[in-house]
Structure 1
Amino acid sequence: MTRLALLSTSDKSGLVDLAQTLVAEFGFQLLSSGGTAATLAAANIPVTKVSDYTQSPEILGGRVKTLHPKIHGGILARRDLEADLADLAAQAMEPIDLVVVNLYPFQATIAKADVSFGDAIENIDIGGPTLIRAAAKNHAHVTVLSNPSQYAAYLQQLRSAGARPTPEFRLQCAQAAFAHTAEYDQAIANYLLTAADSNPDQPLPATFTLSGVIQQTLRYGENPHQAAAWYRTGTTPTGWAAADLLQGKELSYNNLLDLEAARSLVAEFSDQPTAVIVKHTNPCGVATASTLKSAYERAFAADSVSAFGGIVALNRPLDAETSELLTQTFLECVVVPGCEPAAVAQLAHKPKVRVLVAPDLTVGPPLPIRTIAGGFLAQAASEQAPSPDQWEIVTQSQPTPEQWQDLIFAWKVVKHVKSNAIVVAKELQTLGIGAGQMNRVGSVQIALADAAAAAQGAVLASDGFFPFADSVQTAAAAGVKAIVQPGGSLRDQESIQAANELGLVMVFTNRRYFRH
């Protein structure tokens, strides 16, 4: 009896070698469609198109190719059930022993910054998951390979197990297949929940599935006594899993947390070169300048003590001048969207610093998740750019153009500081940051103490409103000239009155950015 294998892959890695071996060594007849059939034909491997086999043409621009009874009957037929074999014979169908399918790259598609909703929808695979699930269901008789990494093991099975994989191997492949389709469907569901074309105010679903594939077993977690692992979502690496580690040791649990904090902050800035330095997930120095070197110098100068052992994120490709500065202090990690060869050579003098190239630092998780006892919390991402055109100047004093730019800058930073959060800034440079205090007055005092005399003429941003005049008065006494805050307190007028009496500018954003 002819042994049939159906091959339909988006990822063509190892496809030609597998197909050649199936035909030459094990006598398989190959069925395929679309680009996979073209790839096999170009390699002079005999292949029958699915449309020729089923006598049904591909339709709807390729949306319907393998959805046919002759295909699914061949996959789902139970070889030990006479009724199933009789059905196959009556319909002139042949059993299909091997299904090699991987899916349209949906996760990679939606990871692109410029992907449209329509393009994302067209990259939802329908026939592929159906084939995989059918073969996995009938794993007692059929082998399903859903990842190129399985090809070598399958061929070894054929060579060592009497030309037919063992039941244990087929079960393992079925388990991997169902995990693959479950993860694929989850990625689609999550995307549709957060896509730009959907209603941002719609509630999250009643059921939410979270799954991941292990990327790396970590040496330990936050502390040496805690076991930890890094999981990625999606079969195609994206985000940090897709970043290129140019040098340095493997990333740690704490590195990854700090890197994500740095990425999410530097993603706020695109117009000008910007440097972010993070320590324990809080920024300690942020600056924007005309050159990347100047931006890093100013971010480092904002808090050179805390910068020691920090995480640096830059929004421009790293040049040699800036990399030379980076080697002058101890840093844990540096992440950049690109790295010039001279900069790579410069950083090699500090082999312990982890240097990552992540081409797109703007894409974050669409649905941030945190675990709690007995479950987890999910919320929509808060990565929308500030909308200064909707801000409200509530004082008699009006901001100068320079103050307005500093207010926008400080507001972008404060949303990434742990609550209660205060940022003092001037000339697009942070001067003092108060983070994670139990009361807002404490954060104000810390930020102003860090800024010291440099607070003269600076602006101050607060992630929450000022319900009392005390913080306004403290800021004015230190030399602050403008404040940006959400507003919304029942006692807003008290803060506004204090600002007016002291000649300060106060701006309400009407949007809060708590970060717990």
Structure 2
Amino acid sequence: MSDIKKMYTSILGDNFPSEMTISFGDQKLVYRKRTWGIKMEDGSVAERGIRYGENPDQEAALYELVNGNLTLGGCKFIEPGNGLVSAIPVEDMLQVGKHPGKINLTDVDNGLNIIKYLADKPAAVILKHNNPCGAATSSTLADAYNKANRCDRIAAFGGAVIMNRSVDNDTARMMSANYLEVVCAPDFEEGSLEILAARKNLRVIQMSAIDRLADFENFRFVDFKSLIDGGIIAQQSAVNSIRSIADLQPATATRKDVSYKCDREPTQREVDDMIFGWAVEHGVTSNSVLYIKDGCTVGIGTGEQDRVGVAEIAVHKAYIKYADILCFDEHKIPYADLCLEITQGKRDLADKEAIDAKVQEDRANLPGSVMISDAFFPFRDGADVGIDQGCTAILQAGGSMRDYDIINACNEADPKVAMMFTGQRSFKH
């Protein structure tokens, strides 16, 4: 067992070159491999790149864009000097723990990809396997983190937290109570690092550029996908164009010369949740459906093959996570541990029954939520899943041949459900 465990702490050799050049016709981009002087267990300092790739037996390297400008078809791509994850200096690795691997860095990167649209308020995003498991905004960073963590306390275990405000001691104490892999923020107030130091393997990264992250909203980069035959698909990166109510479109459709439109307009709170939810959606693997309430995720469904299925999965997860947080609040143990202790005769079945009854009564906090879909609903069954759970508004791309049927579903609901279109799809593969 010790030999198996050792692979997760071992550092692979790095045979990638120190420099890489990519040519686009007569235009070239130059990248330099990033390494850091990492303090080893014996006290020595060694120059290391990232620990390993997606798995411990995969060598990997991180490269920073250092030279060249690229314009293709009128699209001007991001220029050197705007480094975020690829430009972290060793002095900003405030606590190294086990120095980062590929997954740690890509989780931070996708957290930045989401939080760059949430600059107006304190915000926290917790990611696991490059998908958000909780995201929230609030009047304080501590409350934003607490809400994001309570969205999915289970998945947040071992996650990466990205925040857009300086970490205060209250927030640090909340984070230190959990097992996290990475904490990334623009700054850390006096005393907060000492609190976080209680978690020895935690990577703490200071990234002052988060303060100007809104500048990255419209930056495009070249997005590569490698194929198993060695080929590459290159595309422009996605840009979220839904930034205010002015960017939303009314849900209307025409079929056989009959016009359809949603009867109810969304409230300001629902619009705010639509804008927030679409920002989070920008970092979620498709097909995906989210449920958002009061600037916080309630249920997140990711990477499913069909839309009604992912709408159901998001509901299922909301119920599971809600039961867990109720149990943790009441008994200070996970719901799964409660169930185990009941089977072992250590707890009364009534404890579980009380939680289950409360979950059903509250319907996992889904009533009043806004349903977010990263693409159109091909059939009304997907929208009906959210409507049946009490969501009061829907945001989706629109453009389906059956948009009229989804509009009918909203108008037939009691009470009626509001719906808006983005006119933009938000797939992420």
Tell me, yes or no, whether TM beats 0.5: yes
- Distance in 1 separating the partners of 2:423 and 2:291: 20
Counterpart of 1:506, as a letter, is: M
1:285-364 alignment runs, 5 A limit: 285-361=134-210, 362=213, 363=216
Task: Say whether residues 1:213 and 2:32 are aligned partners.
Answer: yes
- Report the Cα offset of residue 207 of structure 1: 6.2
Q: 1:435 aligns with which of 302, 322, 329?
A: 302
> What secondary structure does 1:418 align onto?
coil
1:363-422 C-alpha deviation (Å, 9 max, x unpaired): 476222232334323322323452430312221111111111111111111121100011
- Report the Cα offset of residue 209 of structure 1: 4.5
Is the 8 Å Cα contact of residues 242 and 358 (structure 1) preserved in structure 2? Answer: no
1:65-100 C-alpha deviation (Å, 9 max, x unpaired): xxxxxxxxxxxxxxxxxxxxxxxxxxxxxxxxxxxx
Task: Say whether residues 1:463 and 2:374 are aligned partners.
Answer: yes
Q: 1:374 to 1:224 in 2, by over 3 A?
A: closer
- Distance in 1 separating the partners of 2:61 and 2:384: 48
Q: 2:411 aligns with which of 473, 477, 500?
A: 500
Task: Say whether residues 1:368 and 2:223 are aligned partners.
Answer: yes
Structure 1's unaligned 5+ residue stretches are: 1-174, 187-204
1:150-204 C-alpha deviation (Å, 9 max, x unpaired): xxxxxxxxxxxxxxxxxxxxxxxxx99xx79x68xx7xxxxxxxxxxxxxxxxxx
Task: Say whether residues 1:451 and 2:318 are aligned partners.
Answer: yes
Structure 2's unaligned 5+ residue stretches are: 1-16, 36-48, 68-79, 252-261, 320-362
> What secondary structure does 2:208 align onto?
coil
- Report the Cα offset of residue 497 of structure 1: 1.2
- Distance in 2 separating the partners of 1:413 and 1:485: 14
- Distance in 2 separating the partners of 1:400 and 1:386: 17
1:330-359 C-alpha deviation (Å, 9 max, x unpaired): 000011011112111211222211000111
> What secondary structure does 1:496 align onto?
helix
Q: 1:507 to 1:408 in 2, by over 3 A?
A: same
1:443-491 C-alpha deviation (Å, 9 max, x unpaired): 1001112223110111110001001111121111111110000001111
Q: 1:498 to 1:207 in 2, by over 3 A?
A: farther
> What secondary structure does 1:512 align onto?
coil
> What secondary structure does 1:264 align onto?
helix
1:115-141 C-alpha deviation (Å, 9 max, x unpaired): xxxxxxxxxxxxxxxxxxxxxxxxxxx
> What secondary structure does 1:233 align onto?
strand
Task: Say whether residues 1:412 and 2:279 are aligned partners.
Answer: yes
- Distance in 2 separating the partners of 1:342 and 1:500: 54
Higher helix share: 1
> What secondary structure does 2:174 align onto?
helix
In the alignment of these two chains, the number of paired residues is: 319
TM-score normalised by structure 1 residue count: 0.59
Is the 8 Å Cα contact of residues 222 and 254 (structure 1) preserved in structure 2? Answer: yes
Larger radius of gyration: 1
User: 1:391 aligns to what?
Assistant: 248
Task: Say whether residues 1:234 and 2:66 are aligned partners.
Answer: yes
Q: 1:377 aligns with which of 229, 233, 252?
A: 233
> What secondary structure does 2:391 align onto?
coil
- Report the Cα offset of residue 264 of structure 1: 0.8
Higher strand share: 2
> What secondary structure does 1:461 align onto?
strand
- Report the Cα offset of residue 500 of structure 1: 1.0
Percent identity reads 35
Is the 8 Å Cα contact of residues 407 and 484 (structure 1) preserved in structure 2? Answer: yes
User: 1:402 aligns to what?
Assistant: 269
Q: 1:489 to 1:207 in 2, by over 3 A?
A: farther
- Distance in 2 separating the partners of 1:294 and 1:385: 28
1:253-305 C-alpha deviation (Å, 9 max, x unpaired): 11111111111111110110000000000000000100000000000000000
- Report the Cα offset of residue 513 of structure 1: 0.7
Q: 1:240 to 1:223 in 2, by over 3 A?
A: same
Is the 8 Å Cα contact of residues 268 and 385 (structure 1) preserved in structure 2? Answer: no
- Distance in 2 separating the partners of 1:209 and 1:489: 41
- Report the Cα offset of residue 211 of structure 1: 4.2
Is the 8 Å Cα contact of residues 396 and 500 (structure 1) preserved in structure 2? Answer: yes
> What secondary structure does 1:341 align onto?
coil
Cα-Cα RMSD: 2.2
- Distance in 1 separating the partners of 2:110 and 2:171: 21
